[in-house]
Amino acid sequence: MSKVQGGMKCVKYLLFVFNFIFWLSGLLVLAVGLWLRFDPDTVELLTGDNAPDTFFIAVYILLGAGGLMMLVGFFGCFGAVRESQCLLASFFACLLIIFGAEIAAGVFGFLNRDQIVEEVQKFYSSSVTSTTNVNGTAIAMIYHKTLNCCGGSTQDPNLCPEEEAEKKDCLTAIKDFFNEKLHIIGYIGIGIAGVMIIGMIFSMVLCCAIRNSREVI
């Protein structure tokens, strides 16, 4: 009986430590999501009428997952300390839901990766072709300044002076910029998914240990 209690206490402490790390991971995900949402370069590139919002949809999913992770991590710690089967089962269910959301977000990002880049490229190209419009010119100049690009993506010599002719083509620069951001989202999603699998295992082991110990008593 003492061995069972000792093993249960060990799993309980492991789950408590895991949940604290999980809570910190949620804080990190939330911070990265806020950075991606309010990153000055990203905001500038996606500001304006008819600007694509698909990229921000992925960021909002990341923000939601981070906030939910912090909440679930807190209740997971509480459930581990109280040795509550109900709280632990709820914790497992929440982890399963978040895991499903992470998979959905990953699939969404993977399937729409090229679409996000193409939408931003079209938005830039449309601003270049409408340079007679002050707003279009301003948007094109923002892209040139933020991405340090110009190159062969525009036909207006006023937007691409000769001294800037050697800069990277803006369509290529847009692709590189947003692929980097999307890779960050993908890596975070994969890392969090792995952490959640460990949490689900710990919660079920502790829940079974609590049930067995009560049956022995």
The count of C-alpha atoms lying within 13 angstroms of the C-alpha of 182, restricted to the half-sphere facing its C-beta, is 23
**CB 90: neighbour CB atoms within 10 A?**
16
What does the alpha-carbon distance between residue 87 and residue 75 come to, in Å, rounded to a whole number? 7
**CB 107: neighbour CB atoms within 10 A?**
11
Which position has the token pair 């089962």?
A: 89
- For the stretch 33-75, pLDDT in tens is 898 888 888 888 887 767 788 788 878 887 888 888 888 888 7
153 secondary structure, DSSP code: G
Its pTM stands at: 0.72
Domain spans of the chain? 2-216
- For the stretch 17-36, pLDDT in tens is 878 888 888 888 889 889 88
The strand pairing partners of 169, in sequence order, are 150
| 3-state helix, strand and coil shares in percent for the chain, rounded to the nearest 5 | 85, 0, 15
Q: Is the Cβ–Cβ distance between 111 and 198 less than 8 Å?
A: no
The strand pairing partners of 168, in sequence order, are 149
